[in-house]
Chains A and B, each alone.
Chain A
């Protein structure tokens, strides 16, 4: 019998090693495009973790989350590109993006405190669109955002004078730019994960869950629902803001069309499909929903192998299969792919002792 604690430690170390080696492994086995997908998975994991605070913990259905992503991205883009000729360093811009997004989050949260459920959803959706429309139109009379043309030539992040946009030689090993971004994003995603899971177990987290379950009861128990809801909006938004700033530097280009409603809906799907309120599930959801549409590009060879020739063009089939996958996952795992233990128990209870009525 081995000490289970030591075993866990070994497992943790191995997991960490796997995460560190992942970009090289993926690059060698699948190609560099998949390293880019990996980078995006981490970025979306940050976004999904942010939204998870609002939707998963506090139970506030937010359909405009992409607005915070946009705010962070534009802050970085405007302050680190030739558009205004500004080149502020990233260590200043990242906290600024978090703060600004949090501020916008509070601004959005304040008038919507009384709204519930779908009314809140539609108002947040409206806010998301309003932010996008302003970004799209503020090129006249004064050219603030360059309108629909977007902002080009955004500077990549530089750490100690080393640009992340170029490969770095490290002890005889060339680390390409995409790998560098992977490590950067991994660091921030890990931070988001730790903050999220610490919050879940804190007084604040429990108060949020109380609000989610029953707002009136929570207030009766002395929970300051107003401040806590605003806090959820602000914290969730700040994750989105940081992710946005990272995205701007990663892409080198931002334009308003990247911040549409479908993006908000996708992030919400990551949270719900992964397992609302459960950080690991949410990360899994992000990984699945980012990687799946990319994987479905390669159904051509599969068709050839199974059916002899390509009957339907992969590009025609790709989103169809993606939609089907959403439906099927929701059907077979209604609580999400990896629900939190508490939630799984609740669902089981609701079904077991003579639930309201039989499902079919």
Chain B
């Protein structure tokens, strides 16, 4: 008993000392590691995505995209403010969980990352965004598309992918006007992504004069869709839109073909992947899907990116790697423009700068959404995605719909 008590007392004394000490240095640390003049300066950039669990392949895709950008930047010997910058990617697994995401976010703040690429899911990006906002660290999501993510009034939230409303509008209008679909059926997977996109498509289809003849639902773990496809078949749709991911759309397309469902099949960016074609096999032919940004093979550096990715990681690009790559370069370019890797100056430069990435021009509006993000439509022909056309893009002053007037832009979130 005695030794324990004495040891505890000593520990507590130490604790009290430490506590008193840290009480003074408590106010938000300005992270002023920029002006010191060592020749090499390590700059940490955080990356958070689900690296395990059902979405592990997508999260790894984000990590790989970011890693490629970091390695290129290190090879380019970027000198800022007299220091040669050595970038370091701090990759963490948020398990697609909002709870874990906040712990990861806090650990990024502790480790003094200058910006964060992520999170992948809206459900993780949103709770984490408050922590980044409090710390004044820029958060650039490669893939969170929920409208509410950038609508919280934080200055630190950005994304390089068109949000649900931007993409859903293009998809809905294209379905009705270009593909001539009068009767549209919609399926979604009841995730934040699938449901959000499907709702926006439904809205756009109705606005364009189409009719929504059926709405069915599945989950992001299902593999059998025969029942819902059969019940949709009875309503004779011209087109079936699916809001969800390729792992479901692959078998769904195949099952639709065996059920002889005579309708154009369409999906969003979640299905515009090489994996979808592998999973659906021959049934994939003729399927239309969209992806935000411009086609990779038409972009300067796009084809090179795809080759480098394949060579380095020996795996296909899933979906988000190009976006993560662009998000990472956006941060690096902002550091160059600001002449400093200090989070506050980086943040300011990030909001103003624009640069040409592999998915299009990366520039942000006052909410942090990508400005005038184009959406490209593709269709499967002969076992590969072929570009149909790009809608919007390049021209920044497009979009009358997202009404930027009401944006609560300058509200200092601190």
Tell me whether B195 and A32 are in contact (CB under 8 A): no
Of the candidates A148, A174, A297, A318, the one having the most CB atoms from chain B within 10 angstroms of its own CB is A148
Tell me whether B12 and A315 are in contact (CB under 8 A): no
Interface SS majority for chain B: helix
A residues 1-60 in Cβ contact with B at 8 Å: 7, 10-11, 14, 17-18, 21, 24-25, 27-29, 31-33, 35-37, 40
Answer yes or no: A150 CB below 8 A from chain B CBs. Answer: yes
State in angstroms the CA–CA spacing of A10 and B5 once bound together: 9
Answer yes or no: A127 CB below 8 A from chain B CBs. Answer: no
| Segment with Cβ contacts to A, from B101-109, B178-186, B309-317, B368-376 | B101-109
State in angstroms the CA–CA spacing of A113 and B80 once bound together: 70
* A contact residues, range: 35 or more
Complex contacts, B395 vs chain A, CB 8 Å: none
Tell me whether A17 and B12 are in contact (CB under 8 A): yes
Answer yes or no: B262 CB below 8 A from chain A CBs. Answer: no
* B contact residues, range: 35 or more
State in angstroms the CA–CA spacing of A318 and B103 once bound together: 15
State in angstroms the CA–CA spacing of A94 and B15 once bound together: 33
Answer yes or no: B27 CB below 8 A from chain A CBs. Answer: yes
Given contacts A14-B12, A152-B148, A167-B26, contact A251 B102 (CB under 8 A): yes
Q: Mark A146-163, 1 if CB is under 8 A from B, else 0.
A: 011110110000000000
Complex contacts, A257 vs chain B, CB 8 Å: 96-98, 123, 191-192
Task: State which of B106, B107, B130, B192 has its C-beta within 8 Å of the C-beta of A252.
Answer: B130
Tell me whether B195 and A21 are in contact (CB under 8 A): no
Closest Cβ neighbor of A139 among chain B residues:
B195
State in angstroms the CA–CA spacing of A252 and B103 once bound together: 14
Answer yes or no: B377 CB below 8 A from chain A CBs. Answer: no
State in angstroms the CA–CA spacing of A18 and B15 once bound together: 8
Tell me whether A258 and B97 are in contact (CB under 8 A): yes
* A contact set with B: CB distance below 8 Å: 7, 10-11, 14, 17-18, 21, 24-25, 27-29, 31-33, 35-37, 40, 136-137, 139, 147-150, 152-153, 167, 172-174, 176, 178, 251-255, 257-258, 293-294, 297, 315-316, 318-319
Q: Mark B89-102, 1 if CB is under 8 A from A, else 0.
A: 00111001111101
Given contacts A14-B8, A148-B190, contact A258 B98 (CB under 8 A): yes
Given contacts A36-B102, A255-B192, contact A315 B96 (CB under 8 A): no
Tell me whether B123 and A251 are in contact (CB under 8 A): no
Closest Cβ neighbor of A260 among chain B residues:
B97
Answer yes or no: B32 CB below 8 A from chain A CBs. Answer: no
Closest Cβ neighbor of B111 among chain A residues:
A31
Given contacts A18-B15, A25-B18, A251-B98, contact A31 B51 (CB under 8 A): no
Tell me whether B99 and A148 are in contact (CB under 8 A): no
Answer yes or no: B400 CB below 8 A from chain A CBs. Answer: no
B residues 189-215 in Cβ contact with A at 8 Å: 190-192, 194-196
Closest Cβ neighbor of A7 among chain B residues:
B1
Complex contacts, B99 vs chain A, CB 8 Å: 40, 251, 258
Q: Could you list some 18 contacts between A and B, CB below 8 A?
A: A11-B5, A11-B8, A21-B16, A25-B15, A28-B21, A31-B111, A33-B104, A36-B103, A148-B190, A150-B123, A174-B23, A174-B26, A178-B106, A252-B127, A252-B130, A253-B126, A294-B103, A316-B51
Complex contacts, A178 vs chain B, CB 8 Å: 106
Complex contacts, B96 vs chain A, CB 8 Å: 257
Tell me whether B123 and A29 are in contact (CB under 8 A): no
State in angstroms the CA–CA spacing of A255 and B92 once bound together: 22
Closest Cβ neighbor of A25 among chain B residues:
B15
Of the candidates A35, A153, A253, the one having the most CB atoms from chain B within 10 angstroms of its own CB is A253
Complex contacts, A254 vs chain B, CB 8 Å: 98
Extra 9 A-B pairs, beta carbons < 8 Å, given A21-B16, A315-B51: A7-B1, A18-B8, A24-B18, A24-B22, A29-B18, A149-B196, A174-B23, A174-B26, A251-B99
Q: Mark B1-38, 1 if CB is under 8 A from A, else 0.
A: 10001001101100110110111001100000000000
Tell me whether B93 and A149 are in contact (CB under 8 A): no
Answer yes or no: B152 CB below 8 A from chain A CBs. Answer: yes
Given contacts A149-B192, A258-B98, contact A318 B106 (CB under 8 A): no
Of the candidates A149, A152, A178, A293, the one having the most CB atoms from chain B within 10 angstroms of its own CB is A149
State in angstroms the CA–CA spacing of A132 and B261 once bound together: 32
Complex contacts, A173 vs chain B, CB 8 Å: 23, 26
Answer yes or no: B361 CB below 8 A from chain A CBs. Answer: no
Answer yes or no: B187 CB below 8 A from chain A CBs. Answer: no
State in angstroms the CA–CA spacing of A173 and B16 once bound together: 13
Task: State which of B22, B97, B103 has its C-beta within 8 Å of the C-beta of A37.
Answer: B103
Given contacts A148-B192, A255-B123, contact A33 B110 (CB under 8 A): yes
Answer yes or no: B363 CB below 8 A from chain A CBs. Answer: no
Complex contacts, A294 vs chain B, CB 8 Å: 103
**B220 CB to nearest A CB, Å:** 10
Given contacts A18-B12, A318-B52, contact A33 B107 (CB under 8 A): yes
Answer yes or no: B146 CB below 8 A from chain A CBs. Answer: yes
State in angstroms the CA–CA spacing of A37 and B102 once bound together: 10
Complex contacts, A153 vs chain B, CB 8 Å: 152
Complex contacts, B195 vs chain A, CB 8 Å: 139, 147-149
Complex contacts, A10 vs chain B, CB 8 Å: 5
Q: Mark B107-125, 1 if CB is under 8 A from A, else 0.
A: 1011100000000001100
State in angstroms the CA–CA spacing of A336 and B98 once bound together: 29
State in angstroms the CA–CA spacing of A25 and B21 once bound together: 10
State in angstroms the CA–CA spacing of A33 and B90 once bound together: 15
Tell me whether A318 and B93 are in contact (CB under 8 A): yes
Of the candidates A29, A153, A255, the one having the most CB atoms from chain B within 10 angstroms of its own CB is A255
Tell me whether A137 and B190 are in contact (CB under 8 A): yes
State in angstroms the CA–CA spacing of A14 and B26 once bound together: 25
Closest Cβ neighbor of B1 among chain A residues:
A7
Complex contacts, B1 vs chain A, CB 8 Å: 7
State in angstroms the CA–CA spacing of A248 and B127 once bound together: 10
**A349 CB to nearest B CB, Å:** 30
Complex contacts, B111 vs chain A, CB 8 Å: 31
Closest Cβ neighbor of B63 among chain A residues:
A315
**A129 CB to nearest B CB, Å:** 11
B residues 146-173 in Cβ contact with A at 8 Å: 146, 148, 151-152
State in angstroms the CA–CA spacing of A35 and B19 once bound together: 13
Tell me whether B106 and A33 are in contact (CB under 8 A): yes
Tell me whether B91 and A315 are in contact (CB under 8 A): yes
Complex contacts, A17 vs chain B, CB 8 Å: 12
**B15 CB to nearest A CB, Å:** 5
**A248 CB to nearest B CB, Å:** 11
Complex contacts, B130 vs chain A, CB 8 Å: 252
Task: State which of A27, A152, A172 has its C-beta within 8 Å of the C-beta of B22.
Answer: A27
